[in-house]
Structure 1
Amino acid sequence: MDPVVAVAHYPEGAGHATRMLAVAQALEARGAAVHLAGGGPGQEFVECQGYDEFVPASVDYIGDYQNGGNLLRVLTHSVPMSGKRVLDYAGWLRRLDPDAIVTDDMFAAMAATLTGTPLHVLTHNSPHFYDAVVEEVFTWLLTKYQISSGEQFLYPSVWPACNADPKGVTHIPPIALEGDGEADPDPMDAILVPSYYSHGFDALERTLTEQGHDVTRVGSDDWESVPAMLPYLEAADVVVCSGYSTVMEAAVAGTPCVIWPFTDEQHGVSRVIEKTGVAGFQVEHSIPHVARAVRQPPEEPDFENGDDTAAEHVLRAL
């Protein structure tokens, strides 16, 4: 009988969903029956790919703590909603009774422990990304828990193994959602891909346009949602983004990438990329510096897509 695999994504930002969608499709291509869950901004991408996912209670730690919030907001909103999210996931797993779950969602991982579901963690997170002590300690505890309770901890990265990586993870290539192959976008000088927590990309678009660049900004009034971003990143001469999911997609697309980070995790990822000297990426922190990097982009990155590798690891364990 074909294995049944649950695939759950974290609800903060759409990149979590597209990354896990890529793994889900790779699992399906190898004969697994896949069921998705997660919710949040990435839900529309899941639905664009024809899936009807389970949506547990939503959380937003970045919004509650980093993005204009505070610790009290975390304690009164994110924490109680986290408990409900775990219970929602646990009920879903009991009804589904899958052979395994693959997830980048800490709450789905906790639910897997509650239900005895074999757990495969797939995330790039590390306590070394965070400067705030509360975030660093929480991420350290979470990472230790996921490594000890999971069958494996798959770690998609554009950087080589280094001291910033948690101990016990398995490096795999970066992961990108490839789509159905029908998209054929026109060539463009630059594509701007803000994350859910970015700001200033509209001003950056105006600056680059005034400098004579042909620019596309994802999320602008002229932008229509697409099932997968990879064809559009491949059509651009350079990608400007904030989130690590788009960094991975640019790596797979082979398109030079300028990283403009905003959240603590984005700044942490950027520091690791800079320290390890990964070719194809450049980190900037202001509109003038980003615009200069678009005029003089880094070299093209060269990576394979890690979706197949992730699926092989999971199915081999089954």
Structure 2
Amino acid sequence: MSRTVAIAHYPEGAGHATRMLAVAQALEGPETDIVLAGGGPGSQFIEHNGYEVYRPATVDYIGDYQGGSLFDVLTRSVPNSARRVFDFARWLRREDPDALVTDDMFAAMAAQCTDTPLYVLTHNAASYYDAAVEQGFTWLLNRYQLSVARAFLFPAVWPPDRGDPPGVVHIPPIALEPNGETAPDDVGVLVVPSTYSTNFIELARALRNEGHTVTLVGDDDWKCASSLLPWIRAADAVVCSGYSTVMEAAVAGTPCIIYPFTDEQHGVSRVIERRGLRGFQVEHSIPHVARAVRHPPAPPSYENGVERAAEVVMDSLEG
């Protein structure tokens, strides 16, 4: 029996697109077609991998709130959110998929509007945030997602934790496997900034001044890769901010130094520190990151949770 599964990613950065594309490729097969949507910088990455992607209206709550003000949220993010739900609903009606898998709250709302079976895949939790407005909003969002989704898949490098939303399906971290792509032998320290990171050029310069070979993702000589996993596997260590790269380092078995910037990144880092997870070290300044690179943590060891995610979705659709 042929079926179509829709995959939608949140538009803030390439990491959201990376993990959702990994799920899409795990689901894609002779009897399963996929259609993709998202917008923002992540959609360029999906197109680089040879897929068409629908681009609804985009939002940037982190940029508008943490880099702006509540006024920016109310005048930009909120109206764009309504447009994004409308665009997603129109896309779902046109594609008429058998299910939607997403890490995007607005796609989830559109799925409810169109009676599309929904599977949420995200690690976001209210416990990561200190600000009351972020904590309260995320708490409500988690409850909403749990109430409307057939399954809430929660990819984590930590075992079930008291800060996880109750009722989620815990799965191993997700990484996009390469399609025959390889990395050079001289990656050295792989430095991976996120959309909201700062000082990473200075960080790369400091590491080079200490004698390290450094590969800075997004630098002038960086060429877009269809998957970052080969580069992470070839690296001596990876320095990153975003959770998607943390998950990829876990699957790659590469020591990971986390240099967080956003509230969500700091929240994830606190969970990792509290659980004392092998393979990860959290630092908050360039000198401390450089010291951690000189003495990196032991390599982590995790399986890739992408097949588990696909299995949950397919078993539910066939049940």
Aligned-pair distance for 1:181?
A: 1.6
Q: Secondary structure at the match of 1:308?
A: helix
Give TM-score, length-normalised by structure 1: 0.98
> Who is 2:12 aligned against?
12
Task: Determine the C-alpha separation between the residues in 2 that align with 1:187 and 1:170.
Answer: 39
> Who is 1:169 aligned against?
168
> Who is 1:99 aligned against?
98
Q: Does 1:120 align with 2:111?
A: no
| 1:130-209 equivalences in 2 (<5 Å) | 130-209=129-208
Task: Determine the C-alpha separation between the residues in 2 that align with 1:287 and 1:49.
Answer: 33
Task: Determine the C-alpha separation between the residues in 2 that align with 1:16 and 1:52.
Answer: 16
Contact 2:12 2:41 in 1 (8 A): yes
Q: Secondary structure at the match of 1:274?
A: helix
> Who is 1:42 aligned against?
42
Aligned-pair distance for 1:30?
A: 6.9
> Who is 2:265 aligned against?
266
> Who is 1:80 aligned against?
79
Aligned-pair distance for 1:14?
A: 0.7
Give TM-score, length-normalised by structure 2: 0.98
Aligned-pair distance for 1:185?
A: 2.0
Task: Determine the C-alpha separation between the residues in 2 that align with 1:194 and 1:29.
Answer: 33
Q: Secondary structure at the match of 2:54?
A: coil
> Who is 1:53 aligned against?
53
Offset from partner CA, 1:184-220 (integer Å, 9 cap, x none): 3223320000000000010011111010000000011
Task: Determine the C-alpha separation between the residues in 2 that align with 1:9 and 1:302.
Answer: 27
Q: Which runs of 4+ in 1 moved over 4 A?
A: none
Contact 2:181 2:230 in 1 (8 A): no
Question: Gaps spanning 5+ residues in structure 1: where?
Answer: none
**Alignment length (residue pairs):** 317
Offset from partner CA, 1:24-49 (integer Å, 9 cap, x none): 00001474110000011111110011
User: After the TM superposition, which of the residue ranges 28-37 and 291-300 deviates more from structure 2?
Assistant: 28-37
| 1:18-37 equivalences in 2 (<5 Å) | 18-29=18-29, 31-37=31-37
Q: 1:296 to 1:29 in 2, by over 3 A?
A: farther
Identity among equivalent positions (%) equals: 65
Question: Gaps spanning 5+ residues in structure 2: where?
Answer: none
Q: Secondary structure at the match of 2:191?
A: strand
- CA RMSD of the aligned region, Å? 0.8
